[in-house]
Chains A and B, each alone.
Chain A
Amino acid sequence: MKEAIFVYSQDQLSYKFNDDHPFNHLRLNLTYDLLQDLHALQESQIVAPRIASDNEIALIHDKQFIEAVKAAGKGRLSPGIAANYGLGTEDTPMFANMHEAAALLVGGTLTAVDQVMEKKAQHAINLGGGLHHGFRGRASGFCIYNDSSIAIEYMRKKYDARVLYIDTDAHHGDGVQWAFYDDPNVCTLSIHETGRYLFPGTGHVNEKGSGKGFGFSINIPVDAFTEDESFLEVYKTSVREVIEFFKPDVLLTQNGVDSHYYDPLTHLSATIDIYKEIPKLAHELAHEYCDGRWIAVGGGGYDMWRVVPRAWAMIWLEMINKRELVTGDLPLSWVDYWQKEAPVQLPTTWSDPDNLYPPIPRKQEITEKNYKTLEKALFHIRNEMKMK
């Protein structure tokens, strides 16, 4: 069995709305190149994504919605009907062959799932996936098909696995949460900037699941301007307690990297340091609880030059136990090559500069508030664990 595999092909870049859109999968190339230049990605570790079948997509999405996406990709969907499906908006504009592009991203995550569940690899990563805002019958927030929801339902049906989904994107993982809101065999944990101001507005601490699924949706909305220490305190405490409580068979992590201070769409103040720690704990716990089964997908990340390549490379380097590579300078070849394309100054080191941003007013209150939120989010788990 391989230690880890990396799902990737150039074709994943076909998921492209337009040149001005903040969601740009050129991020995948930037990350891939960085790993190549580090000699940390072998040919034998790369697996091409497959295309998800309509039936697989229909594990989560309505047939009519899939048909609408197909028609939209062929220019045959009227704007009025498109709007009902969340298509043709500023967020998810229609583009040629959008069904094929979206089905490939779903297929990539399913490829990763099969590799892990069929014991071909311990861990697998598909950075092209992580489109957590997609709903049953509606595209939303740059996401057409929800690859993570589909992958989870696929694991439920095909492998009868209990799945823990951990989402550290700065936006609430709403699509995945609602898809499994009443399912006690799927636990979703989302740590995100509070929805008070940020899209999608949901992910309150009191959204805990319904019916038999009560207690298996966990949300920790952190305050705007949250910094590293507070974020990691929330992350480390909650992930450890949730996995101990839920005892999953497999871990699926969504690795949006838009909590960084540089990210233009959110208001958190994390540095690159948290992206070293996030996969580290996931890796550790996958071995401790899930016999190593860990699937990682990408997600948000809208500073694709300065933040995403480093942050995503860190996940892979963690998977293959090469974390010692994440120090000092970035490969000069990578910086030189991409600097020509970038509209901003690329970083030259793995870490961020000191004084990345001016001191945050009310830091102490924000930290305290986040701690209280964490306590509220874990209250029911702690209670139940006490009774055992």
Chain B
Amino acid sequence: MIIEEIMHTDVVTLTEDATIKTAIKMLEENRIRHIPVIDENNHLIGIVTDRDIRDAKPSIFHSDEHKEDLLKPISTIMERDVFTAHPLDFVEEVSAIFYEHNIGCLPIVEDDKLIGIITETDIFHTLVKLMGAHQPSSHIEVQVENITGKLSEIAAIFKKRKVNITSVLVYPCKDIQYKTLVFRVQTMDPRAIIADIEKEGYKVLWPNMPGVIE
């Protein structure tokens, strides 16, 4: 999946001469945490976050002092080195940028122009969808040897039973000779499939708990 499919295109922006006061108002009104700063050609030149604002605001104990500071332009507080992404980047790549740099949003830039924005929340929503957890499904975990072709062998069993797979994840096992395949499948009654998988000699890790059900 590429970023273009999940990014927001109606981006709230400011120019660098806007005041800090305006930025505060926009963050509050739009219930957002980041405002990209652009020039007259829609080129991205910086970003203002709620954290920058917090640092610039007077303490609540002195809220009546230095009010004139809020009239300074945002160019005095904005971040100029901004991580950006391209609309054709993959969701995984972009997630890794969030993960590595501990940031909350990425402006999306094409031809040097700002065309969208993506936040941590969007990534999280996408992740839930990628895991298939938003569609009615049952969860099956199968332990397989860590060699080629195992996924397709298990998938063939689902195919035979005409059951749709909503998502597949491949987890590492403690024993590196094995992998755990985690499926969410569109059925309320996975018993027949589980029996088939076991008949083929695989170990079904769930549903099955030692000592509780056979």
User: Which residues in A have some Cβ–Cβ distance to B below 8 Å?
Assistant: 22, 89-91, 133, 140-142, 171, 174, 195-202, 224-225, 264-265, 267, 358, 360-361
State which size class the interface on B falls in. 20 to 34
B136 touches A200 (CB 8 A): yes
Complex Cα–Cα for A196 and B162 (A): 23
The answer to whether A199 touches B137 (Cβ under 8 A) is yes
Minimum C-beta distance from A81 to chain B (A) = 15
**Chain B nearest CB, measured from A246 CB (Å):** 26
Known: A141-B136, A225-B212. 14 other contacts (CB 8 A): A89-B162, A89-B163, A89-B186, A90-B161, A90-B187, A141-B188, A174-B136, A197-B138, A199-B137, A264-B191, A265-B189, A267-B207, A267-B209, A361-B211
Interface residues of B in 115-139 (CB under 8 A from A): 132-139
B window 174-214: CB within 8 A of A: 184, 186-192, 206-207, 209, 211-213
A199 close to B191 (CB less than 8 A): no
| Contact with B187, one of A91, A195, A196, A224 (Cβ below 8 angstroms) | A91
Once the chains bind, are B138 and A89 in contact (CB under 8 Å)? no
In the assembled complex, 18 residue pairs joining A and B whose CB atoms fall closer than 8 Å, in A order, are A89-B162, A90-B161, A91-B187, A91-B189, A140-B136, A141-B136, A171-B188, A197-B139, A197-B206, A197-B207, A199-B136, A200-B137, A201-B133, A201-B135, A201-B137, A224-B209, A265-B191, A360-B212
Alpha-carbon gap, A196 to B191, bound state (A): 17
CB neighbours of B132 from chain A (8 A): 201
| B211–A90 CB distance below 8 A | no
Chain A residues within an 8 Å CB radius of B164: 89
State whether A225 touches B189 (Cβ < 8 A).
Answer: no
Q: Is the CB of A358 within 8 A of B211?
A: yes
Report B4-54 residues with CB < 8 Å from chain A CB.
none
A90 close to B189 (CB less than 8 A): yes
Q: Which of B's residues lie within 8 Å of A, judged by CB?
A: 132-139, 161-164, 184, 186-192, 206-207, 209, 211-213
A133 touches B189 (CB 8 A): no
Are B184 and A201 within 8 A (Cβ)?
A: yes
Minimal beta-carbon separation of A302 from chain B (angstroms): 8
Smallest Cβ-Cβ distance to A138: which chain B residue:
B136
B182: min CB distance to chain A, Å: 10
Q: Please, which residues of chain A bring their CB within 8 A of the CB of B209?
A: 224-225, 267
Report whether B206 and A265 are in contact in the complex, using a CB–CB cutoff of 8 Å: no
> In the complex, which of the residues A22, A90, A195, A196 has the most CB atoms of chain B within 10 Å of its own CB atom?
A90
CB-defined contacts of A91 to chain B, threshold 8 Å? 186-189
B residues near A141, Cβ cutoff 8 Å: 136, 188
Contact B138 A201 (CB under 8 A): yes
Contact of B212 among A133, A201, A264, A361 (CB under 8 A): A361
- In the bound assembly, the distance between CA atoms of A89 and B134 in angstroms comes to 19
CA distance A202 to B189 in the complex (A): 16
Task: Give the chain A neighbours of B161 by CB distance below 8 A.
Answer: 90
Contacts of A195 in B (CB 8 A): 133
A206–B192 CA distance with the chains assembled, in angstroms: 32
Q: Which residues of A contact B137 (CB under 8 A)?
A: 199-201
The reply to whether B189 and A22 form a contact with Cβ atoms under 8 Å apart is yes
Q: Min CB distance, B54 to chain A, in Å?
A: 27
- Assuming the contacts A197-B206, A267-B207, asked whether A202 and B136 have C-beta atoms less than 8 A apart, the reply is yes
In the assembled complex, the CB of B130 is this many whole angstroms from the nearest CB of chain A, namely 14
B211's closest neighbor in chain A, by CB?
A: A361
Cβ-defined partner of B188 (8 Å) among A265, A267, A358, A361: A265
